[in-house]
Structures are given as C-alpha cells and as structure tokens.
Amino acid sequence: MDTDPDVDHDPGAVAGRRERFELLFALVYEPLQRYVRRRAESTLVDDVVADTLLVLWRRLDDVPVANELSWSYGVARRCLANQRRSAARPLQLVQRLETDPTAQISSHSTETAAEVQVDLLRAALAELDDDDRELLRLWAWEQLEPREIAVVLAVTPNAVSIRLHRVKQRMRQSTQQPDVGKNLDPGGHKPLEATKEER
Amino acid sequence: MTDEDLRTQLAKADPCPPTQPVDGAGSPRAQNLLEDVMSTPIDHPAAEHPTGQPSTNAHRSRRWAAVLAGAAGVAVAAALVANASLGNSPELPPLALAMPAADSLGSCVVFDASLLAAVPVAFSGTVKDVTDDGVVLDVDRWYASDAGEPSQVELSIADGPNSAALDGVDFTTGQRYLVSATGGVVNGCGFSGPATAEYEAQFTAAFAN
C-alpha cells in the first residue's frame, strides 16, 4: 500500500501542514516543557519534548480541536514512558523517590511549618501509584479539568472524576498535621470544651 | 480542606511552578527545534535527532526508528481497516475471553513491548454492545491469535462489583480498543486500553515481524 498521496508531494498541503504545526507549537511548547520537567530528570527533558513534538508533527491530523494541549500531554506522557522503558529501568519505589523531582524530601535539620507541609505533600505523592499520582498532578499542576484529564489518560471523564475524588480525599488525610498543643491553655491544661464537660 | 486549598498546598510542591521560566516558543533554540521537526518527512524514519545533532546514543536512534516505523505501520493498518473483513473468517464463532476479577489486583509488571509481543491473543476492535454479562467487540485487526481470527470477541465480566471496567478503562459502545489476553483472560496493567494513535503504534511495533 502506498504512503499518503498528498503530504510531501503537494506544496500547498505542505505549506498548510507547516502553518498548522507552527500554531500548535506556539500553543504547546512551553507547557510541554513544564509538564516534562515536573515528572522527569532534567537530563531527559529535551529528548522527551523533542520526541513529543515529532509525534505531534507526524500525527498532526489526529490532534483533536479544542483539546490540543491535553492530547499533547498524553503524547508526552507516553514518550516519557518510552524513554524510561528504553533505559530498561523499571523503577522501584526507592529509585523513584531518588529520581522523581517531586519526591525530594528536605533533609534540613530545622524546617519551618511550611517546609514540613511540603515534605508531607511530596511523601504523600510518592506513596500514590503511578496512575493516581499522574491524575493528581494533572489536576493540581497542569490545572486540568476531568474532561481534559480524560483526554490525556485516554479514559472516560466519569472514570477520572471518580478516581480523582478518591485521590484527593486520600491526600487530604495524608497531609493533615496533628495540632498538638494548639488548643491547650498555657501550662498545658485541658481545653475549655473539656473543662465544660467536667462541670 | 477545600479543593482550592488542596490545589494551593500541592502547588507548593510543584517542581516547575509557573513563575519558573522555560524556553520560550520564539527563542532561537525553539525555532531551530521547530524547523528540525518540520523538516522530518512524515512518512520516512528520521535519520537524526530533531535537534539537528546526530544522536550519540545508538539505542535512542533505534528506538526512534522503531517508533516511526510503527507509526508508518499504523497508517498502513488504518488503510486496511476497511478491508479487514476480507481477512476475517465470518464463519468462526466469537472468541470468548474473560475480564479479570475486580479483586485480582496483583502488582503490575512494567509495560514492556517484548512482553506484549509474547501474548498469544491481541487485537483491535470497536465495542458493539455492553451488557450486564459482558462486552462484545467487532474486531478490525488481529495482531496475534491462537484460535483463528473471528470477527467478534466477547468479554465476559467476572462476578463482583462494577461494570465493564479494566484498570480504570471503561469499555464504551462505539469506542475502539486494543486488547491483549493470556490464558483466556484479558490483560490489564496497560496491556489493553483505548486505541490511541500512540498506543496503536506500540501494538504494531510489538507484533511487527
């Protein structure tokens, strides 16, 4: 079977394709870098972004209108997975913590409450499975809505909504810090509510 | 904690927050990358890395060639879809496969094309019907089969909660999927799912001989 009859042979088609891709490039180039930087070691970013753009160029006719960015994130996700598979490194949790930029836990001996909270968040993220972590990152960092996340992950919006709700609940529970001492009176006495009950 | 509060908290753990600069689309580097990508013929494998530099990693070049060859194969496969029925045996009964039980969640093997290539059953098809008993798909392409190439596959749902779902993949009428199976049971863990262009390229590359 011959290859596509028009592309690369029809100057008009070539020019149209280039124009469409230039528009797509302007839309996705910077967000794609952020997407990959959030998930990959710095040494992989340029290659993954380039791989993604190449797929987008070859599959330009498949890019859905009004969902270009979400679709591009999905391509980048697969290109990043391909990069890691090619390196033949099925990461164990410990290794993932070492290489995942979100899993860098502060080792400072003195931390502010804000730093502790960030560490809790990163630890909670690292505990999620890959799909749940990606779901949460797309929602929180890429600021995507469930229908857009569905395009990235190639699942239904309903499946995204259900799973996202569960993951958010889990994160809320994982990142709550105990308020030890917050409600104690000076001297460590029982809080006012307990005092009332004793009356 | 509201959704907005949670998002605000998670933003603090963002490795690349919006305030961190990245290479702009109009930069000379970006424009060079753009031209390199657009100079790649869409129907021929790229000889060089799109940054214009010869790949210093032979393995990466082979991977690129495999991805692009797979993508070219997808174009051929798509052209054959309309004629797929000629290659099927309409007299064969539907192939019966079972969905894994909802509580059969073991640890997933990392997706590997070589593992996919070894499965005895793999196909692409469109969901024709979803019932309480299972899913019926019209097959448009067989990648591997140990029981002929029937035109339909029936996935039976194991007893337990929920519907025709597989690792978060909902089988929806009219949607197209890539499915692999071993021992009469559909493979989850990323070895079956919606038929996106990239996923189809992976299936094509895995089963290419």
CB B124 within 8 A of CB B143: yes
Taking CB atoms and an 8 Å limit, are A51 and B64 in contact across chains? yes
- Could you read off the pLDDT of A83-98 as tens digits, one per residue? 877 765 444 444 444 4
pTM of the model: 0.53
For residues B171-175, average pLDDT: 87
Taking CB atoms and an 8 Å limit, are A30 and B13 in contact across chains? no
Task: Compare CB distances from B15 to A54, A58, A101 and report the shortest one's residue.
Answer: A101
pLDDT for residue A177? 58
With a cut of 80, say whether residue B71 has pLDDT above it.
no
Given CB atoms, is B37 within the 8 Å cutoff of chain A? yes
Task: Give the chain B residue whose CA is nearest to the CA of A56.
Answer: B37
In this structure, what token pair is assigned to residue A118?
């960030």
Specify the higher pLDDT residue, A152 or B151.
A152
B105: pLDDT confidence band, cut at 50, 70 and 90? very low
CB B159 within 8 A of CB B101: yes
Could you give the CA distance from residue A46 to residue A52 in angstroms, rounded to a whole number? 10
Nearest CA to A29 out of A78, A171, A37 is that of A37
Given CB atoms, is A75 within the 8 Å cutoff of chain B? yes
Given CB atoms, is B168 within the 8 Å cutoff of chain A? yes
Distance from CA of A152 to the nearest CA of B (A): 10
Nearest CA to B96 out of B147, B37, B30 is that of B147
Task: Residue B33: list chain A partners with CB under 8 A.
Answer: 50, 53
In this structure, what token pair is assigned to residue B73?
């194969």
Taking CB atoms and an 8 Å limit, are A171 and B6 in contact across chains? yes
Task: Residue B59: list chain A partners with CB under 8 A.
Answer: 86
Taking CB atoms and an 8 Å limit, are A8 and B42 in contact across chains? yes
Q: Which of residues 159-198 of A touch B (CB under 8 A)?
A: 159, 163, 168, 171-172, 175-176
- Express as a percent the part of chain B with pLDDT over 90: 23
SS3 of residue B14 by DSSP: coil
Taking CB atoms and an 8 Å limit, are A159 and B25 in contact across chains? no
Backbone φ and ψ of A47, nearest 5°:
-65, -45
pLDDT for residue B56? 35
Nearest CA to B178 out of B126, B117, B109 is that of B126
Q: Is B37 exposed, middle or buried (0-12, 13-18, 19+ CB in 10 A)?
A: buried
Task: Compare CB distances from A57 to B40, B76, B113 and report the shortest one's residue.
Answer: B40
3-state helix, strand, coil in chain A (%, to 5): 70, 0, 30
Distance from CA of B2 to the nearest CA of A (A): 9
Quick count: other Cβ atoms within 10 Å of Cβ A186?
5
DSSP H or E run through B58:
helix B58-81
C-alpha distance from residue B52 to each of A73, A101, B25, B153 (Å) = 24, 28, 17, 46
CB A30 within 8 A of CB B25: yes
With a cut of 60, say whether residue B88 has pLDDT above it.
no
Given CB atoms, is B10 within the 8 Å cutoff of chain A? yes
Whole-number average pLDDT of chain A: 79
Taking CB atoms and an 8 Å limit, are A140 and B11 in contact across chains? yes
Given CB atoms, is A61 within the 8 Å cutoff of chain B? no
Specify the higher pLDDT residue, B79 or B15.
B15
Whole-number average pLDDT of chain B: 73
Interface test with A, best of B198, B199, B203 (most A CBs within 10 A): B198
Task: Give the chain A residue whose CA is nearest to the CA of B63.
Answer: A86
- Could you read off the pLDDT of A58-79 as tens digits, one per residue? 999 999 999 999 999 999 999 9
A39: pLDDT confidence band, cut at 50, 70 and 90? very high
Specify the higher pLDDT residue, B138 or A3.
B138
Q: Which residues of B173-185 are buried (b: 16+ CB within 10 A; e: fewer)?
A: eebbbbbbbeeeb
For residues B26-51, average pLDDT: 76
Which residue type sits at A50? A
Local structure of residue B99 (DSSP, 8 states): P
Local structure of residue B166 (DSSP, 8 states): E
In this structure, what token pair is assigned to residue A54?
């190449």
B79: pLDDT confidence band, cut at 50, 70 and 90? very low
Task: Compare CB distances from B15 to A4, A38, A117 and report the shortest one's residue.
Answer: A38
Nearest CA to B141 out of B167, B120, B122, B162 is that of B122
- Could you read off the pLDDT of B9-36 as tens digits, one per residue? 999 999 999 999 999 999 999 999 999 9
pLDDT for residue B149? 81
Task: Compare CB distances from B10 to A7, A29, A140 and report the shortest one's residue.
Answer: A140
Specify the higher pLDDT residue, B87 or A55.
A55
Q: How does DSSP assign B179-203, residue by residue?
A: EEEETTEE--TTSSEE--HHHHHHH
Distance from CA of A192 to the nearest CA of B (A): 25
With a cut of 80, say whether residue A122 has pLDDT above it.
yes
Could you give the CA distance from residue B45 to residue B28 in angstroms, rounded to a whole number? 25
